[in-house]
Amino acid sequence: MTEARARFAPGDRVRVRREYPPTHFRTPLYAQGKTGVVEHLYGAYRNPEDLAYARDGLPKAPLYRVRFEQTHLWPEYAGAAHDTLCIDLYDHWLEPSEGGL
């Protein structure tokens, strides 16, 4: 079965692409354009954005758990400054980031 190679590893800083495709997508709008840190690589899975349209979802895409500081996602966040949120994101939504959080 076809599978894309993981581009990121735990500890890598990544930025979520900004894109508003006219089709089904599984990336929260509030995370788009934001920077986080890869916490875990789950492996490669069929792309749910393709599966939603009865396509085969291939090639399989790496799926990561990415950690974001909540104050970075929501500047007016009233919780503790160290609170974080983890989001599962597919490789094609991520790009390398050299900047800080």
- DSSP one-letter string for 34-65: -EEEEEEEEEEE--HHHHTTT---PSBEEEEE
Which has the higher per-residue pLDDT, 1 or 47?
47
Residue range 6-23, pLDDT digits in tens: 999 999 999 999 987 656
Q: What is the pLDDT of residue 61?
A: 93
| Distance, CA of 11 to CA of 14 (rounded, Å) | 9
Q: Per-domain residue ranges for the chain?
A: 13-96
Across the range 3-8, mean pLDDT stands at 88
Q: What is the pLDDT of residue 21?
A: 63
**What is the CA 41 to chain-centroid distance, rounded?**
11
| Domain covering 13-96: architecture | Roll (2.30)
Residue range 37-74, pLDDT digits in tens: 999 999 999 888 788 788 887 899 999 999 999 999 99
